[in-house]
Amino acid sequence: MAAKDLLVRALTVYFAENPKRESKIPEAFLKDHFGITDEDLEAGRAAEKAFQAKVTGGSIPLSSFRAMLGMDVIVPKEIQAQNPGIEKETLSKEEFRAKKEEKKRKADSISSVQIYFDRGDGYSEQDSYFAPEMYGDEGRMSLTVRVPGDVRNLRVDPALCPCFVLPEKMTVDGRTVHAVRKAMRCSGTENPDGSITFTTNDPWMEWRMDKLLRQAGIRGGRAGESGAEERTVTLSYQMCGMPSTMAARMSLDGAKRRNLL
């Protein structure tokens, strides 16, 4: 395989893992230095899509399938009140493609888990990645993250949309982290039953690595320093997506309650 083809293949996978990366590499740079055009990248995406379809046999993760079904509710009474001769909706190719892309975006938003590392300068897309693990039955997720020793804070985005999350268990190097919620900061509302309600499209959970080590009973362990030991963190939780209308209503109700306090 030619070097250019290898680079196109690498870029295709790199961009697919995090679409925001594409804006970081100017088109002119790829064309001037490597002779790679937009047409080359588009052909690479098509080839990758065909390859994945062949490998998976056209199957998709259960969580993505559930998200693609959506949460729209059909009320039989409303259907009966309409004209029995309901005309089938007709869409142009462009409208059909846009609708299909929107469904895919929603499916990706509910099944994508992004991991961020803070090494002292805050979080950035460059120091993050999308976890290869997928949601299983009942929205269960089991993550395994290898955290470099110089990382001060670990952040997990359980989805890219409003959702409910129930943390279950966390370990560091095989040792159980006690009181996971006490060691955690998050962008949602923590409920008495241990679950967390996230009403925005940017849900996140964050842990300080030095605090995690203490909660796991690892005495004298260093974190966030050059030369510190790499740690293996596992996290298991349940996640359920939330309809956008419900999220908007809950956000509004929460704002009203805060104004009354």
**Which pLDDT value is given to residue 61?**
61
**Which pLDDT value is given to residue 122?**
93
* Distance, CA of 109 to CA of 158 (rounded, Å): 10
Maximal CA-CA distance, the chain: 74
Residues 6+ apart with CB under 8 A from 130: 17, 18, 112, 113, 114, 115
In this prediction, residue 226 has a pLDDT band, given cuts at 50, 70 and 90, of: confident
Structure token pair of residue 255: 């704002």
Mean residue pLDDT of the chain comes to: 80
- Among the residue ranges 8-22, 49-63, 146-160, 218-232, the one predicted with the least confidence is 49-63
* Distance, CA of 178 to CA of 247 (rounded, Å): 30
Structure token pair of residue 21: 């990366």
- Among the residue ranges 65-79, 147-161, 233-247, the one predicted with the least confidence is 65-79
* pLDDT of 199 above 70: yes
In this prediction, residue 248 has a pLDDT band, given cuts at 50, 70 and 90, of: confident
* pLDDT of 78 above 70: no
Q: Give CA 208 to chain center in angstroms.
A: 20
- CA 203 to each of CA 4, 39, 63, 77: distance values in angstroms, whole numbers, following the listed order: 38, 35, 18, 36
* Distance, CA of 9 to CA of 44 (rounded, Å): 6
* Distance, CA of 192 to CA of 203 (rounded, Å): 19
Rg of the chain's alpha carbons, rounded to an integer? 22
* Distance, CA of 183 to CA of 158 (rounded, Å): 17
The residue behind tokens 């142009």 is 92
* pLDDT of 79 above 50: no
* pLDDT of 88 above 50: no
In the chain, domain spans:
3-56, 113-252
In this prediction, residue 77 has a pLDDT band, given cuts at 50, 70 and 90, of: very low
pLDDT digits (tens, 9 = 90+) for 7-52: 888 888 888 777 778 778 888 888 888 888 888 888 888 888 787 7
Q: How many CB atoms lie within 10 A of CB 39?
A: 8
The mean pLDDT of 156-176, rounded to a whole number, is 92
* Distance, CA of 63 to CA of 57 (rounded, Å): 17
